[in-house]
Amino acid sequence: MLAFVVLAACGGNGAGGSDGGSGGLEGTVIIDGSSTVTPLITVAAEDFQAVNPDVRVTVATSGTGGGFEKFCVGETDVSMASRPIAVDESATCQANGIEPVEFIVANDALSVIVNPDNDWVSCLTVEQLNTMWGPESEGEVNNWNLVDASFPDQNLELFGAGSDSGTFDFFTAEVNGEEGAIRTDYNPSEDDNVTLVGVEGDVGAVGFLGLSYVLENEGRIVPLAIDSGNGCIAPSAESVIDGSYVPLGRPLFVYFKAESLQRAEVEAFARFYADNQDTITETALFIPLSDEQASEQRAELDEITGG
């Protein structure tokens, strides 16, 4: 099914865009938010500007929470998010008269990664993950043999998303059972390269980041399969789309300011994404939308922009 989606994309429209490429558009689209979604949206921004050279699109990376902070005070037009907008965030938005319009832009398999020289583990259970990352492990679980007696005596170094990121919220909610609950003696970062370089450089390191980073860096780090009770499932496009990669499969979001969508250049950007999402997700190594998600997105866009 995935193959079909990708094929359809390649057949439909190549690198350029069919819609929104009318030219003559100008203006600025300011985007901020999740570092997980950033690689996807930078590809979209770049391709969009190739056909609309007079529209200026900026993409900053403040993390999902940081992005919403700016979004809800009106500093940005679009907010990238690796989790849905939180209740208090949407209250802030509302208080400032900003109406967020949610789009699912791609899917992701949040991947747990280890060093290629790590030869003792290829699959972890959710409980083991919790032992590694839970708040009660702080200062205690610093060795692999404390995670599981069968693991060797090897220092455990942890790398992961910082508290501003949706990946952090998602991971802590799924693995530790409560959003935001995590040991604090790991190396947090809003920039996933830190996780990557950290895990690449240390045999005993574990980190978590989006699947696209894993695919872009095959060989430097190795993703682990996750066992949530139904056997070990590796992170992949297939396992996310068929719903078997639990609990770490997730959709990724972009929020448009409804008011901004009334501006031609912002609407054009949204349409450009909808029309080219398969090319964009493929280029950025993200998991594309399912057909169902895609048609939902298109219908929503039509409804809001009245097109």
Residue numbers of the site for other proteins (CB under 8 A)?
28, 30, 38-39, 42-43, 45-46, 49, 56-63, 65-67, 69-70, 73, 75, 155, 157, 162-164, 180-182, 184-194, 196-198, 200-202, 205, 209, 213, 216-217, 220, 283-284
Question: How many Cα atoms are found within 13 Å in the side-chain-facing hemisphere of 187?
Answer: 17
| CB 99, min distance to other proteins, A | 19
Choose between 46 and 291: whose C-beta lies nearer to other proteins: 46
Q: How far apart are alpha carbons 34 and 39 in whole angstroms?
A: 10
The SS3 call for residue 198 is helix
Choose between 174 and 233: whose C-beta lies nearer to other proteins: 174
Choose between 14 and 231: whose C-beta lies nearer to other proteins: 14
| CB 38, min distance to other proteins, A | 7
| CB 196, min distance to other proteins, A | 5
Choose between 241 and 255: whose C-beta lies nearer to other proteins: 255
Token readout for 74 is: 């009106």
| CB 158, min distance to other proteins, A | 9
The SS3 call for residue 253 is strand
Q: How far apart are alpha carbons 76 and 3 in whole angstroms?
A: 35
| CB 56, min distance to other proteins, A | 5
Token readout for 294 is: 């895609």
Residue 181 burial by Cβ neighbours in a 10 Å radius (0-12, 13-18, 19+) = middle
Q: Are the CB atoms for 78 and 277 separated by under 8 Å?
A: no
